Copies of this chain bind each other. A is one copy, B any other.
């Protein structure tokens, strides 16, 4: 067997191993018993709601994806009327495969997560470490499925079509789904959260998870569809995009076979490292779940670095310079995670300062949160930029095109431990829901204390994984820009036009694209936030209607119509998301038709720059406000019910759509726009005003 085929085989084997491991974890979670009937009942409602949202989401997606697939078939990689039939069919198939595989991984993952909620709640009665394992393993199913599926998909597309550029179609499919899952799920979850809080806590004065509130199940469903499914689809997307762009660049190199092998090999080694990390995760004797999650991440990182070093040592044609680029990416990712933690962890000074500012009133909560959110962008922005610069400079001596390949591999390196990252991230909403279920099921004080501790670890780790995933997306999109240039040049060559050697800032077509591209993430996130506002208002109306018309609801003798609230959140989320998505894609087309490929290159760059800035700002400011509210609630600066607490709650409400809707959706918006640009560049090259 030639070495490349061996690598293909190993990729498939690793993906299969990940699926088997996920199956094992699923069966393990399922074996845990749920005895409390109230928990069974509510769990079932949550699972049903999540299913309902995802069904509707996938149906809406079909209306979007079918025309998109048709467009892909008609136009890509070359317009069909130029006689390009077979490659166009391949591209359309790859696109469809990208959406379907991501959807399947998300669907299974979220169902396992929903299964884990109640079980984690009941195990919390036994011990913290037992409950931790349920939460973590439930989340790990998602992590394994996402990374296994993306590795399987990339390898399969590559083997089937033997043409790396078809991978961009696959990646575009994954991005389409991610846009729906991340932005749609983000709007859903915050619509329900805000409406439930406003009517429940503020108007009626009932507890957060009170079953009389018609929005309470929608709120729990939101945690799953927003954080579990959304995050999974987002990282599936980034992972595929990083792999695809590295492979597109690898194929254009002089030593292309070794380079392609290296991308695949580093990818499956990352999955192997994540599997080992997942298998090792458990709460130690100190009973500290945050440390358990973090140390598994560090274990995974170390194993990955060792495995890839070994592979580089053993396999002919694997370059140490590229290994260094990948290692730099991964280390920078870890460092960014740690600095994010500094800004959002409530044991660190920043959260305390914002809590202190809350004593002077909500305006100061907001101003200080916005300011520190802005400040927190510096390490991530500089870190991403530096790792790209280092990767480039290290790889450049290997020859033409290797510098860009180095950047792409630094993104692959940063994303290598993504299986572990998703597991950590999905753990959060599971234990969050488990806490709610423990309260609704009346499992007692001690169980609630355990559930609280697990939940708090989830919040801390979440900030870190978010910083990580935004940075990874940033680095990925830089290499997508490289892929875009290769694609554009292939087209321009065919048209007999001058090739693009770069995107010069001093070229006003590029500059026009940059300024326009920079405003798109701002507009996109504003549209999502306004969408949440509009939907929450609608849901509040529905909650009022139910309390007015359902006899016995206030007294707790009748049940509310949970489904209606889920329907409102679902319908509204998809409507708002389609508007925002069409705006971002439409802007790409307008810029392309005005300024041609040069403007589009600038557009992508402007989009990355302001997108990263706004995404990091929003995620960190949101996390900061959330934790400073929790810090006040823990009895500091006056504690619950004080003026500082009221101000901190306002900060948290502002931060919610920042960190759970807009901030994390910007990644996906950037990837979608970059891919649309890369794919439609033939059209822009042929028809543009300037």
Contacts and interface: CB of A to CB of B under 8 A. Distances in A.
Interface of A: 198, 202, 357, 360-364, 366-368, 370-375, 377-378, 381-382, 384-386, 388-389, 391-393, 403-404, 407, 478, 481-482, 485, 501-516, 518-519, 522-523, 525-527, 529-530, 532-533, 537, 595, 601-602, 605-606, 609-610, 612-613, 617, 650, 653-654, 657, 690
Contacts of A363: 650, 653-654
A527 B537 CA distance: 35
A508 B386 CA distance: 9
24 contacts: A362-B650, A367-B529, A368-B530, A370-B529, A373-B526, A377-B519, A381-B518, A382-B515, A385-B512, A385-B514, A385-B515, A388-B508, A389-B508, A389-B512, A391-B508, A407-B508, A502-B502, A504-B505, A505-B505, A511-B605, A518-B610, A518-B612, A522-B617, A610-B610
Contacts of A407: 508
B503 A389 contact: no
Interface-centre pick from A516, A527, A605, A690 (highest chain B CB count, 10 A): A605
A515 B612 contact: yes
A505 B617 contact: no
A102 to B, nearest CB: 28
Contacts of A513: 385
Contacts of A202: 361
B612 A609 contact: no
Contacts of A519: 377-378, 381-382, 613
B613 A371 contact: no
A518 to B, nearest CB: 5
A198 to B, nearest CB: 7
A403 B502 CA distance: 19
Contact of A386 (B366, B371, B373, B512): B512
B533 A364 contact: yes
B378 A537 contact: no
A72 B504 CA distance: 30
Contacts of A403: 508
A482 B508 CA distance: 11
A533 B368 contact: yes
A544 to B, nearest CB: 13
Given A519-B378, A526-B371, A485 B506 contact: yes
A526 B370 contact: yes
Given A361-B653, A389-B512, A504-B505, 20 more contacts: A362-B650, A363-B653, A366-B654, A367-B532, A367-B657, A371-B525, A371-B526, A374-B522, A374-B526, A378-B523, A382-B516, A385-B512, A385-B513, A481-B505, A482-B506, A501-B504, A504-B504, A505-B505, A518-B609, A519-B613
A386 to B, nearest CB: 7
A60 to B, nearest CB: 23
